[in-house]
Structures are given as structure tokens and as C-alpha cells.
A and B are shown apart, each in its own frame.
Chain A
Amino acid sequence: MSELDAVIDTQLEAIDEALRSGAVTAPDEAERELQALALALAADAPEADPGFATELGERVRSGFTRPPRLAWLPRPGMPQLAGLGVAASILAAVVVAAALIPAGSDDESAGGSGAAGVQQPAPETSGDSGIQESNRPRSASPSTGEGFAPGRRERAIERTASLTLAAPGNRLDRVADGITTVTERFGGFVLRSSLGTGDEGTSGGSYELRIPETRLQPALLDLAGLAEVRSRSQSGADVTSEVVSAADRLQAARAQRRGLLRRLESADTDAEVDALRAQLDSNAREISGLRSALRGLRLRTDYARVNVQLEATGDGSSFGGGSNEEGLGGALDDALGTLSGSLELTVRALGAAIPLGLLLALGWAAARTARRRRRDAALT
């Protein structure tokens, strides 16, 4: 502390002492002078008119009653503004969170318990290899529209998922049945399947499924409910550029075909006709190839590829040891799925609410500082 600071502190203490004691007590002349000044200032404090003091005292005791206000009229002041601000931020957070939730999540409620409805026969095994190729027609088409609708469908995403399920050997057949049933229930089909057999019956297998992309999540949830999930993964590849390119080329080829047909109508010589027909044949092959490519692409994007590996567990007491336990396991998986869905929604809502809250807090602090400065400016 500097010498000047020490002097200031001593003089301030002297002033406080005079205000406390109501007398000039300091030995130092300068301090005595300051004490006297402080006492004079305190003594010169304006006093309220007794009538005003009495009137205000009565108003305090009566609780500052005033004429009743209509309940619906807003009261002036910040609490109301703050309330409106909080309500607006919550609303904004909900709107943003809703916008962030994938559109397909509605479908999740469509899926029931994976254990239910396992009534279809299992795919037949063939001979020692136990491998059977099965190509089924589409049981449902998830998207029949041409081109792409705005929004989420603007991007063409090829989705793949893989799932490894494990069940006791004596239950593998039932799980295999369940895979087919769930796949068909969600409008998908089994592209390939194989089941291996051993001394004690089925020992494992693999399924290549195609499931409508829009119903992939609930279908995976139901598939996971069929047995113990050993592993699970999902991925997506954006093939929008391929789709757009093929569609453009198809459009161009069709335009070219129209032009060739017009020229054919007005062709005068046989040679010209032959040349145009040759070009039309070539064009037809091109159109056919492009349509086929586009169909293939749409199949890849409309239907997700799902690979399911089925494994046998050593003991029969693990997941799904009995039908009741299978139901319980499925229910638990469903519950976990629901819980993770709720958690996801909460995290998304928080992700929107926290930055909004921070912005509001910053705005509030800035407004408060500005108000304080405006007020203080009245003193200059």
C-alpha cells in the first residue's frame, strides 16, 4: 500500500468514526477538518415533511392497496418480459428439436414385439450345405413416386445395417422364423438366407434382407427383440449424385429418341431410314440400360440392406431360454429402445435450449448493463 493510500484510509476511517460517534475526535488537523465536514453534511441531510412521512407510513401498513386491476391486463415490468422470454425460448427449443428429429421416427411406433407373430415357416434348408437361395418378389413398395420429393427425400441414401443375434441352438429355428416374419411385416423381403445344421440341429445362419428404408428403424428394433444382440451397426452412403446423373442421362436419351423418331418420319431415302433405325436401336439400349441402372439405384435407396448373422449360444439359459423369457427379453429391449428414443429427444431439446438460453442470458445481461449505463448517464 502506498503512503497516499495509507493517508486516504486513515482519513476515511476518521470520517467513519465521526459519523459513528457524532463528534470530532481525530488528533490530526486535516482529519479533524474532514470529520467536521462529514458531520456537517450528515446534519444537513434533508428531512421529510412529517405529513408525507405519515401518509407514506400508512400506505406501507395498508400494503400499498390500489384499485383492482383487470386480471387480463398485463402488468408493466421485467418479470412479465422475462416470463415471455422464457416461454418463447422453450417454444423455440421445442420447434428446433422437433425439426431435428428424423421423420422416420414416427414409424417406430408401428413395430410390435419381436416375439409376436412368429408363424411363418422357416426357410427350407437344402442338403448338407444347408444353403438355400431365395428370391422373393417385393411384398410392398415403400416409394412409388418418380424423382424426389423436397426435404429429406432430396438426398438418396443407401443404408446398410448388420445385426448379430445369438440364441440357444434349440431355439435358432424359431428365431430364424421370426426374422422372416419381421421382415415381411415391415414390407421387406429375404434376398438370401442360409442356415447351418449340426448334430444338435441348427448351428447358425445368415440372412440378407431388404427392408424399406423408411421402416428400417422399427424393423431393426423388432429384429433385435428376437434374440440376444451380439453386435449391431448401421451406415449410410449418399448416392444422390449417381441418381441425379442417371436420371439426367435418361432424360437426355429420351429427348434424343423423340428427335430421332421425328427425323425418321421425315426420312426420304432408305439409307437414311436404316441409319436412323440403327441409331434408334442404340438409343433404346441406352434407355433400357439407364432405366435399369436407375431402378437398381432406387432399389438400393428405397430398401436398406440388412445382414443378420445368427449364432448359437452354448447354454440354453441365456437370452430367450423359454418363450416367457423371450417375451420378457423383447419387452426389455423395447423398453430400452423407447428409453434411448426419449434420451435422444431430450439431448436434442437440450442441444437447442442451451444455446438459446445462453443467448437469452447474454441479451439480458447486455440489456441490464445498457440500462445501468443509461441511468448513470443521468448523473453526468
Chain B
Amino acid sequence: MPRAAGDISTETFESLYERAFPRVYAYVASLLRDRSAAEDVTAQAFERAYRKRRAYRPGRGSPEQWVFGIARNAALDELRRRKRHADLHAEPEDAGAPTAEDHAELSLRREVLRAAMAGLDGRERDLVGLKFMGGLSNAEIAHVLATSESNVGTRLHRTITKLREACHERA
């Protein structure tokens, strides 16, 4: 059967996975703050994207944006599920926590940063996740969030300013 324009082939999907996986995982984990749930959601997102790959249309954004959109929806569904079950927001098991070899200053900076991040609300954490964990440009984020690029810029600036102030206070 001939493929429709924009249809993602199996080979292209593998390549897309290689490119996007670390960033998608980082974004999902930062949003959920639970590594185990992040793994489930990331796997679910890629499987969903694979099954829907024939429905992908380039007019709706790049394949990366498309996968991030799917991952975001899956992560938000997971957050909603948790809310329904009155589950506590679990902190991720800290695989990236400073080791004994880590420099003390770096360790301290990370701690301050994570504490400041914890002070952000869900929408701000979503934005920071897409920008700094997912590595998306403001235009790409605007596409994923279905909003304007200028709106993303404004919100991002406000959020990062808030983060900086929180870091100052904690430092």
C-alpha cells in the first residue's frame, strides 16, 4: 500500500526514537518527578506514536514536536490519574544525585536548583521541562502547547526569573 505524504516509515521512526528518546524521557521525568512512572509513560508515548505513525502529517509540525505532544498528553493523563487516586506526588528516585566524587559546590547548586524547581507550579514545570529537558525551541514549544511563540517567550522569561529569585533566596 503506498504511504501517505508525511507517513513515518519504520526506519524513520527508529531514527526519530534515537534522536528524541533521551529528551522525551527527561521531559516526562521532570514533569512527573517519578522515574518509574516516567519510564512507563515514555514507553507508552513511543508505542502510541509508533502505532499512529501513519497519521502523522508534516503540516502539524516536525516529528519531534509530534512525539513530544503525544508524550505530554500521556504524562498529563498520568498526572490526572494520580490526582483521581489521591496519590502523593512522589519525588523521583535520585539516580542523578551527587556522588561522593561530585564537587561540593556543584552538589550544593543542584540542590538549590531542585528546591527552586519544586516551588514551580505544574504549568511552569511543564514549560521548563519542554525547554531545558526536552531541548525544544520556543516555536516548537508553542506548537506543542498550541499557543503563540510570544506567549511562550513571556511565560518562559517569567518562570526562569522566578527560578533565579528562588535560587537566590535559597542560596
Contact = CB atoms under 8 A, between A and B. Distances in A.
B79 A44 contact: no
A201 B114 CA distance: 109
Nearest to A33: B164
B156 A12 contact: yes
Nearest to A46: B29
A37 B135 contact: no
A110 interface: no
A48 B42 contact: yes
A8 B39 contact: no
Nearest to B26: A45
Interface string B100-139: 0000000001100110010001110110100011010110
Contact of B76 (A8, A16, A53, A379): A379
Given A59-B43, A379-B76, A12 B138 contact: yes
B77 A45 contact: no
Interface stretch (A87-95, A158-166, A369-377): A369-377
Given A48-B42, A49-B35, A61-B14, A34 B160 contact: yes
A375 B110 contact: no
Contacts of B3: none
A11 interface: yes
How many residues of B sit at the interface, in one of the four size bands? 35 or more
Interface centre among A9, A46, A52, A57 (most CB of B within 10 A): A46
A47 interface: yes
A37 B76 contact: no
Interface string A337-350: 00000000000000
Contact of A56 (B23, B46, B109, B110): B46
A96 B46 CA distance: 43
Secondary structure at chain A's binding surface: helix, strand, loop or mixed? helix
Interface residues of A, number: 38
B1 to A, nearest CB: 16
Contacts of B126: 379
Contacts of B135: 19, 42
Interface of B: 10, 13-14, 17-18, 21-23, 25-26, 29-30, 35, 38-39, 42-43, 46-47, 50-51, 55, 73, 76-77, 79-80, 83, 92, 95-96, 109-110, 113-114, 117, 121-123, 125-126, 128, 132-133, 135, 137-138, 146, 153-154, 156-157, 160, 163-164, 167
16 contacts: A8-B154, A8-B157, A9-B153, A12-B153, A16-B138, A19-B132, A38-B160, A44-B110, A44-B113, A45-B23, A45-B133, A46-B26, A48-B25, A56-B46, A57-B17, A64-B47
Enumerate the 7 nearest inter-chain pairs by beta-carbon distance, A residue then B residue, closest first: A379-B122, A378-B79, A46-B29, A45-B26, A41-B132, A375-B76, A378-B80
